[in-house]
Amino acid sequence: MKNHKEEEIWIGGKDLGSDPEFLKTAGNEFTDTPLYETMGEATESESYKTDRRDFLKYLGFGLGAATVASCDIPVKKALPYVVKPDTIVPGIPNYYASSYVNGGDFCSVLVKTREGRPIKIEGNSLSSVSMGGTSARAQAYVLSLYDTNRFKGPIARDGEKGFAASTWDAIDAAVKSNLNGNSRIAIISNSILSPTTKKAIARFKSSFPNTKHVSYDPVSSSAMLLANEATFGSKVIPDYRFDKANVIVSFGADFLGTWISPIEYARQYAKNRVIKDVDNASMSKHVQIENGMSLTGSNADNRILVKPSQQGAAIAALCNLLGGSGSGPSLPKEIMDSLRVLADELKGARGKALVVSNSNNVSEQILVNKINDVLGSYGNTISFAHPSMQRQGIDSDMNDLIADMNAGRIDAVMVYGANPAYDFPGSSFADAFAKVDFKLSFAQSNDETTALCDYVAPDHHGLESWGDAEPKLGHCHLIQPTINPLFNTRQAQTSLLTWAGEKLDYYDYLKSNWTQNILGGGSWDKALHDGFHNSGASYSAGAFSANVGNALSNVSKPNSSDLEINFYETVHMGNGQFANNPWLMEMPDPVTRTSWGNILHVPVKFNGVRKFIGFNDLEDGDTVTLTVNGVAQTAVVVQQFGQMPGTVSLSLGYGREVGGKSAVGYGTNVNPWLTTDANGLTQYYATDVAVSGKTGEDDDFASVQYHHTMGVKDVNTAGEEVVADELATGTLVKGFEGSLTNRSIIRRTHIADVKEFVHHLHEERHHFEHLNEQTLYPYDEYKEDLYDQGHHWGMHVDLNACIGCGACTVACIAENNVPIVGKHEVHRHHEMTWLRIDRYFYGDADNPNTVYQPMMCQHCDNAPCENVCPVNATNHSSEGLNQMAYNRCVGTRYCANNCPYKVRRFNWLDYTTADLWPSNEPELTKSDELPFGADNLTRMVLNPDVTVRSRGVIEKCSFCTQRIQSGKLVAKKEGRRLEDRDVRTACQTACPTGAITFGDTNNKKGQLSKKLRSPLNYVVLEEVNTRSSVNYSAKLINKIEKLDA
Amino acid sequence: MKSRSTGPALGGVEERWADYPQEDLYAWIRNSSSLIDAGHPRATELWNEWKPTVMQAFNELTDDDIASLLTYIQGVNDGTYPPQVAGTPGAEVTVEQNNNWIYYVVFGILSILALFLTRMISNLGRIVTKEETGVLQPSKTIVESLTSKSVISFLLFALVLIGGYTTVKNGIAWGRQQNYAPEQPIKFSHETHAGMQGIDCQYCHDGARRSKHAVIPAANTCMNCHSAVTKGSLHGTAEISKIYASVGFDPNTLKYIDNYENMSEDEIAKIYKKWIGDSYMSDAGVESLGREGERIVKEQWDGIVSSLTSDLKPSVYGPIPWTRIHNLPDHVYFNHAQHVSIGKVECQQCHGAVEEMEILEQYAPLSMGWCINCHRETEVQFVGNEYYNSYEKYHNELSDGSREKVTVEDIGGLECQKCHY
């Protein structure tokens, strides 16, 4: 559908379709909901009227209270250490190498601690697996340490009264009296990466020989394991090398966001997507075959839309096109045409191609292996030398266990780090679980499974424990504690060993296991310092051999249903493991830009007259009844570009019933809808689907998609193209210098056109420069005067490297004490994030391409916000920083209104309870509950170098000024010039792909200066003469044009 | 002086050596080891008592020096040194000339003059009115003129002006604590430590050179010296015992107490009461405590308990709850290392003559204006720190003479986000 200009970019149906209501609000900085509505539940708007007498009362009280409050200067105590540990200097952070592990999720990290308190996670650049990258989940890991929902100690069920506090002795005694050498015990866990934990379980088994260990994954990759066993004789997941592939084809695998080892893959992927030399530009091609737009799909050059039930047939067809001889199920002609083009591309990239799939059907995975074998991927882009251990679970093992439990063949179950009552498909687990006599959980906080248990032996948090992880064979990483256990918890491994009759410290156990089996004579201290040790262990798999014909006939059959649904994992929520973490709950889904709940993606359709209509006439925020396999639930809808017609998508991980404040009551639980195939493997789609028409509206629909838009194009009554802002603010004459028309937000091109594009870009930038020079205040002169010595901070963002994963946004929250506001507040456009990732679509509205643009304060040297502040609370530093003095701010919000990038955030309410007046807190939460993060436990995560803002002030990205200041101090102390490594912003260090570079533009030898010389660079809204300090390099794609034809 | 620490008490040394020739004592002071090696009976006796500790050799001391030292020790020991100043101190202080009365007199004269002139003007006015109308208006009394509308409105205006000025002026200073000198849990004297003993500030406040916090020293820093110095010059056992009770050091045996954190208060009390009592008896030279001794033991132990415990911390074991004197508001970032290590600012510049303060007080107002003024005037330590090489323009200007100095202000030291973020 080519109904729009080629140049057009859009964020959603509302702006592409010029929804008048949206255009009206887009021009305003703040939504102007009526006062009584913003005051929450108030139905009687009367009660919010203030009359003269009340006013005088408040005035009098205010004056009086201020006087009283300030007369009494509180006496503050300073408690020094009794015996100061010599490694701690108060005020100076210590970093410890450790690992973030959650089931199969892995990231090697450095934990920043202040006075013995972990406050921030950084990537460990030494690690051979995550290579310094992090994910949003890894960044948010530190908050889960201070989760108020954590168990404070061991717990036992006390009859019908429910859980009651217990003691470790009582738990040990209960285990001893209930279990003996003959007990049939099952340990349920997710994939365990830790070799020493496996050893501890084996030790437990030696005391309790009838123990079996069943592992499954919340989002299963069982079929891959079984397919590799069938074709190579080894039940492992091989080592994929996306950096070595020139053509990447993914059948639904979200390898940049959630699939197996996304941090590692993202880094590899970006290596081949970043343009290093414009004259000889080259990048890999990436084709995604899927129905709903995944994070990886949104980064692809081409997407081939197939229904979930057609995916198997598509794999079979591609296999046949590449030289197979069998026959698979038939597919629509346009899909076959696309696959033919794709097959040709792949053939041309033999040895440099990589095909992956998230299919959980063994036959389909065998065919994927066959395709890779035909293309010569094994030994080139895929290796078995260091296979991934990040997925080990076989779904059918759990089904066998459920059958055993139902048959009474299990006496005791211990649940370690898993939540099968919630995330195991279907609802059979809970019923079977109830038949077990002795049920124990190691959970750190309450969840659906733990709630069914008799005993809880809470495990330490990972930041409190010793441990190890081997995400890839031979790549062994260590976990070391960075804080004393906060609560009366005990490490699960210690519990297992204690019950097995061992009396030892888990640290000794770990160390002796490493010395004997892993280090091979290497130094323990070095491994602990680096966080890992590569033992050199490797593996060799057999040659490819499989019954392809059999596989071809066993792929899932396309369904003729009108509507299909697929269930997918999001980058922040997994399958619900992270629901207790408000940082992740409030992080918008990168593609839909919705937070606090899973939203049903429905396709949109063009009505022929600049209007886009959702499936069933549904609009964003409508609630519907979604019926899958005959079971109905309510879901909230969002219109999603790139969603295949005839399909809808809904994410896993929401609708938790037992959990913390941020977990329960948000979204729809899809796990009961999941079914298994003939092999007992979970299938993440359904074909028996019905979506009703609109049944209502979500009052707190928390989508940030249309918040903080930077100017939306429209056509005015005279037929001229203008920006929505102008409709609201009056009309500017077209061509007026520095006017807001033709905004330069996203620059993009096809790699084949890059030279022409660069020429055009430079012409245009030159034109802007010419316009901007027409001023009484020539920039170059005052720049030379003010900024050409010392430091001038700047940033470069490579849009080709940015995959939109959102690790930077969570890192920013952690570093800068950005408050979490909750669903209702997000709904009211009050989200506080300093760094947002804007998602724009372009190209074909039916199957668009996507650009992610991290948008933070641009630190303009000619900042529009600065000269409108009546109290000079925001002003410019000699180092080019746009400064914000919170204590000077009186909250006029003129600056936010005047910011063309829409990056300033206002503390509408007292989100942090930092305010002097407790009365400023109401209506934020129900009853006397504190806002998120305002309790004393969660406050331990705050960065002590950054002020916690209170109500009524504006805040925004500071370029991590606290890091700049401390970096400068380090250089001064060492008596040397400042170097790149001294100052790295939180977003920069979090990024798995290295998309963000921060530095001193006056340091001509630095990384930043090098990046600033790229001819692809542009400045967002350069035409408005803000003199921004952030450069973006244009987004390039390597689209296979024939696939679109 | 009177008590034994790492060696015998200094006081009374001459009496103890009275049995031997004076040369022996002098030789002993100069180089004790040689006398021990020579097998001198008194030296051997002392060696057996104190070994392996030996006194440092002072071979450069002349006989005169040693004689002076002994006289000083003798004097301090029997209280005849330092000599008392004759007469009452302060008697000769002259009363400062106060010239304020001149202003009052001038003010008075001027007011009378003003009153006189107003009367004259009003009388002249009356005369004019009489000339014109022929009616002589009654003259206003002083009370009438003082309560006239114009005077009252002038007074009101002045009141609002002065009141407003005072409110704003005091409002700005709200929360400031200049000269704040709270009572501390331990009567720690900076005068004794930094002044008399000359201990470097950064020996205890070791964060100042490397961190944002100067750091209140941990109790184990105190113990570096106080494991030997068990009694204070001013308060005897009363204050130093608080450190011991905080860390669990037994001054009776000069050893740390095992398992101290789990001991009951009674057990702890026993240790320190014994120490205080024994010290009292040896100092007073008595064999039993007596009523006075018991009172002192009780008083000092109660002092330990009240200083080291609170509602939140029932045991005396644990950190000493010092009262924080220098409080910056939460939105101010201040880094000691920047000022001490880089700026080479003397501690005294902001903290005053701490070495003369018996009770520490806040010397500076710690107001923003005070900070800013210093940043305006202070010269950056440009030379010798390569970090500042990035300021090429200033370096050029300095070398060609067009610039005298680079102040903190010149490199952005007045900008908001240098201290507020």
- Beta strands (DSSP E) in A230-379 are 237-240, 247-251, 285-290, 302-305, 353-357
Nearest CA to CA, how far is A882 from chain B (Å)?
9
**Chain B residues with beta carbon closer than 8 angstroms to that of A75:** 182, 323
- How confident is the model over A467-490, as a mean pLDDT? 94
A285-290 and A302-305 strand pairing: parallel
Average pLDDT, chain A: 87
Q: Which two tokens stand for residue A978?
A: 């400042």
Q: With pLDDT > 70 as the criterion, what percentage of chain B qualifies?
A: 94
Nearest-angstrom CA–CA distance, A904 and A656: 33
One-letter amino acid of B128: V
**CATH number of the domain where residue A159 is located:** 3.40.50.740
- How confident is the model over B380-401, as a mean pLDDT? 89
Contact across the interface for A80 and B320, Cβ inside 8 Å: yes
Radius of gyration of chain A (CA): 29
- How confident is the model over A580-593, as a mean pLDDT? 92
Q: State phi, psi for A469 to the nearest 5 degrees.
A: -155, 140
Contact across the interface for A877 and B218, Cβ inside 8 Å: no
Neighbours of A993 (CB within 10 A): 23
Burial status of residue A892 (CB atoms within 10 A of its CB: 0-12, 13-18, 19 or more):
middle
Nearest to A831 by CA among A598, A578, A583, A622: A583
The structural domain count of chain A equals 3
Predicted local confidence at residue B275, as pLDDT: 92
pLDDT digits (tens, 9 = 90+) for A258-269: 999 999 999 999
Average pLDDT, chain B: 86
One domain for residues A206 and A353: no
A442, A417 Cβ separation under 8 angstroms: yes
Helix, strand and coil content of chain A, in percent to the nearest 5, comes to 30, 20, 50
Nearest CA to CA, how far is A975 from chain B (Å)?
5
Determine which helix (DSSP H) or strand (DSSP E) holds A143, and give its type and residue range: helix A136-145
- Beta strands (DSSP E) in A862-911 are 874-876, 882-884, 905-906
Predicted local confidence at residue A28, as pLDDT: 61
Q: Which two tokens stand for residue A580?
A: 């207790």
A137, A584 Cβ separation under 8 angstroms: yes
Predicted local confidence at residue B172, as pLDDT: 83
* A61 — pLDDT class (breaks 50, 70, 90): low
Nearest-angstrom CA–CA distance, A979 and A967: 9
Which residues in chain B (242-261) have CB-CB distances under 8 A to chain A? 246-247
> Tokens 């601690």 appear where?
A113
pLDDT digits (tens, 9 = 90+) for B66-84: 888 888 888 877 777 766 5
pLDDT above 50: residue A733 = no
Q: State phi, psi for A248 to the nearest 5 degrees.
A: -115, 125
Of B220, B385, B391, the CB nearest to A790: B391
Predicted local confidence at residue A223, as pLDDT: 93
A495, A502 Cβ separation under 8 angstroms: no
Between A133 and A1044, where is the model more confident? A133
Nearest CA to CA, how far is A916 from chain B (Å)?
12
Predicted local confidence at residue B329, as pLDDT: 86
- Look at residue A139 and tell me if it is in a domain: no
- How confident is the model over A491-513, as a mean pLDDT? 93
One domain for residues A609 and A625: yes
Residue A944: alpha-carbon gap to chain centroid = 25
* A644 — pLDDT class (breaks 50, 70, 90): very high
Any A CB within 8 A of B216 CB: yes
Nearest-angstrom CA–CA distance, A629 and A690: 9
Predicted local confidence at residue B129, as pLDDT: 83
B307, B242 Cβ separation under 8 angstroms: yes
One domain for residues A328 and A451: no
- How confident is the model over A570-575, as a mean pLDDT? 91
Predicted local confidence at residue A544, as pLDDT: 87
Residue A291: alpha-carbon gap to chain centroid = 21
* A145 — pLDDT class (breaks 50, 70, 90): very high
Contact across the interface for A78 and B212, Cβ inside 8 Å: no
One domain for residues A374 and A424: no
Lowest-confidence segment of A105-109, A811-815, A1024-1028 by average pLDDT: A1024-1028
| Paired residues of A304 in beta bridges | A289
* A194 — pLDDT class (breaks 50, 70, 90): very high
Nearest-angstrom CA–CA distance, B420 and A330: 67
A245, A272 Cβ separation under 8 angstroms: yes
Nearest CA to CA, how far is B415 from chain A (Å)?
6
* A372 — pLDDT class (breaks 50, 70, 90): very high
Contact across the interface for B417 and A884, Cβ inside 8 Å: yes
- Look at residue A287 and tell me if it is in a domain: yes
Of B213, B321, B331, the CB nearest to A947: B331
Which residues in chain B (313-372) have CB-CB distances under 8 A to chain A? 317-324, 327, 329-331, 333, 335, 337-338, 341-342
* A612 — pLDDT class (breaks 50, 70, 90): confident
* A650 — pLDDT class (breaks 50, 70, 90): very high
**Chain B residues with beta carbon closer than 8 angstroms to that of A789:** 390-394
- Look at residue A488 and tell me if it is in a domain: yes
Lowest-confidence segment of A130-139, A836-845, B266-275 by average pLDDT: A836-845
One domain for residues A384 and A492: no
- Look at residue A514 and tell me if it is in a domain: yes
pLDDT above 80: residue A34 = no
Contact across the interface for B175 and A73, Cβ inside 8 Å: yes
Handedness of CA B303, B307, B311, B317 (dihedral sign): negative
Lowest-confidence segment of A60-69, A441-450, B327-336 by average pLDDT: A60-69
Predicted local confidence at residue B24, as pLDDT: 82
Neighbours of B300 (CB within 10 A): 24
Nearest-angstrom CA–CA distance, A828 and A589: 18
Lowest-confidence segment of A191-195, A543-547, A635-639 by average pLDDT: A543-547
DSSP reduced 3-state for A1007: helix
Which residues in chain B (258-317) have CB-CB distances under 8 A to chain A? 317
Which residues in chain A (537-556) have CB-CB distances under 8 A to chain B? none
Predicted local confidence at residue A860, as pLDDT: 93
pLDDT above 70: residue A739 = no
A393, A216 Cβ separation under 8 angstroms: yes
One domain for residues A238 and A285: yes
> Tokens 């007045």 appear where?
B414
> Tokens 């954590």 appear where?
A150
- Look at residue A855 and tell me if it is in a domain: no
Q: Which two tokens stand for residue A564?
A: 């299909």
- How confident is the model over B138-152, as a mean pLDDT? 79
In chain B, where the domains are located: 13-78, 119-168, 367-421
- How confident is the model over A666-694, as a mean pLDDT? 91
Q: In what order do the strands lie in the sheet with A9-10?
A: A9-10, A836-842, A849-855
- Look at residue A999 and tell me if it is in a domain: no
Contact across the interface for B417 and A81, Cβ inside 8 Å: no
* B62 — pLDDT class (breaks 50, 70, 90): confident
B336, B343 Cβ separation under 8 angstroms: no
Contact across the interface for A82 and B220, Cβ inside 8 Å: yes
One domain for residues A242 and A353: yes
Lowest-confidence segment of A459-468, A732-741, B95-104 by average pLDDT: A732-741
Residue A644 DSSP code: P
Contact across the interface for B338 and A969, Cβ inside 8 Å: yes
pLDDT above 60: residue A654 = yes
Radius of gyration of chain B (CA): 34
Q: Which one of A690, A710, A730 terminates a domain?
A: A710
Predicted local confidence at residue A784, as pLDDT: 79
Any B CB within 8 A of A62 CB: no
- Look at residue A1005 and tell me if it is in a domain: no
Any B CB within 8 A of A94 CB: no
pLDDT digits (tens, 9 = 90+) for A391-447: 999 998 999 999 999 999 999 999 999 999 999 987 889 999 999 999 999 999 999
A152, A167 Cβ separation under 8 angstroms: no
Q: Which one of A710, A739, A771 terminates a domain?
A: A710
One domain for residues A686 and A602: yes
pLDDT above 50: residue B90 = no
One domain for residues A603 and A688: yes
Of B207, B330, B415, the CB nearest to A883: B415
pLDDT above 50: residue A47 = no
What is the 3-state secondary structure of A101-134?
Answer: EECCEEEEEEEEEECCEEEEEEECCCCCCCCCCC
B269, B346 Cβ separation under 8 angstroms: no
Predicted local confidence at residue B3, as pLDDT: 66
Between A103 and A743, where is the model more confident? A103
Q: Where does B142-218 have alpha helices with state H? A: 142-146, 149-172, 190, 201-204
Nearest-angstrom CA–CA distance, A303 and A849: 8
**CATH number of the domain where residue A375 is located:** 3.40.228.10
pLDDT above 60: residue A1026 = yes
One domain for residues A277 and A366: yes
Lowest-confidence segment of A278-287, A343-352, A598-607, A857-866 by average pLDDT: A598-607
A716, A722 Cβ separation under 8 angstroms: yes
What is the 3-state secondary structure of A768-807?
Answer: HHHHHHCCCCCHHHHHHHHHCCCCCEEEEEECCCCCCCCH
- Look at residue A374 and tell me if it is in a domain: yes
Q: In what order do the strands lie in the sheet with A1030-1033?
A: A996-1000, A793-798, A1030-1033, A1017-1018
Contact across the interface for A965 and B384, Cβ inside 8 Å: no
One domain for residues A685 and A568: yes
Which residues in chain B (15-44) have CB-CB distances under 8 A to chain A? none
Determine which helix (DSSP H) or strand (DSSP E) holds A676, and give its type and residue range: strand A675-676
- How confident is the model over A757-768, as a mean pLDDT? 92
Any B CB within 8 A of A1045 CB: no
Q: Which two tokens stand for residue A1006?
A: 């630095």
Between A682 and A74, where is the model more confident? A682
Q: State phi, psi for A718 to the nearest 5 degrees.
A: -85, 5
- How confident is the model over A9-20, as a mean pLDDT? 68
- Beta strands (DSSP E) in A947-1040 are 954-955, 996-1000, 1017-1018, 1030-1033, 1035-1037
> Tokens 């950056």 appear where?
B380
One domain for residues A524 and A462: yes
Predicted local confidence at residue A50, as pLDDT: 58
Between B74 and B242, where is the model more confident? B242
Instruction: Render the burial of A497-507: b for 16+ CB within 10 Å, e for the rest.
Output: bbbbeeeeebe
> Tokens 């200009």 appear where?
A5
Nearest-angstrom CA–CA distance, B323 and B362: 12
Residue in chain B closest to A1003 (alpha carbons) equals B390
Predicted local confidence at residue B12, as pLDDT: 78
Predicted local confidence at residue A715, as pLDDT: 54
* Inter-chain contacts counted by CB atoms under 8 A, chains A and B: 151
One-letter amino acid of A297: G
One-letter amino acid of B273: K
Please give the ipTM for the structure prediction: 0.84
Of B212, B317, B389, the CB nearest to A977: B389
Lowest-confidence segment of A767-781, A920-934, A973-987, B399-413 by average pLDDT: A920-934
* A608 — pLDDT class (breaks 50, 70, 90): low
pLDDT above 90: residue A246 = yes
Of B206, B393, B421, the CB nearest to A961: B421
Burial status of residue A351 (CB atoms within 10 A of its CB: 0-12, 13-18, 19 or more):
middle
Predicted local confidence at residue A744, as pLDDT: 80
**Chain B residues with beta carbon closer than 8 angstroms to that of A792:** none
**Chain A residues with beta carbon closer than 8 angstroms to that of B420:** 885-887, 947
* A64 — pLDDT class (breaks 50, 70, 90): low
Helix, strand and coil content of chain B, in percent to the nearest 5, comes to 55, 0, 45
Residues of the domain holding A427: 155-215+393-472+474-534
pLDDT digits (tens, 9 = 90+) for A890-922: 999 999 989 989 899 999 888 887 766 655 555
pLDDT above 90: residue A968 = yes
* B65 — pLDDT class (breaks 50, 70, 90): confident
Nearest to A533 by CA among A195, A204, A902, A813: A195
A849-855 and A874-876 strand pairing: unpaired
Of B215, B319, B384, the CB nearest to A82: B319
Q: State phi, psi for B223 to the nearest 5 degrees.
A: -70, -20
**Chain B residues with beta carbon closer than 8 angstroms to that of A70:** 174-175
Nearest CA to CA, how far is A248 from chain B (Å)?
45
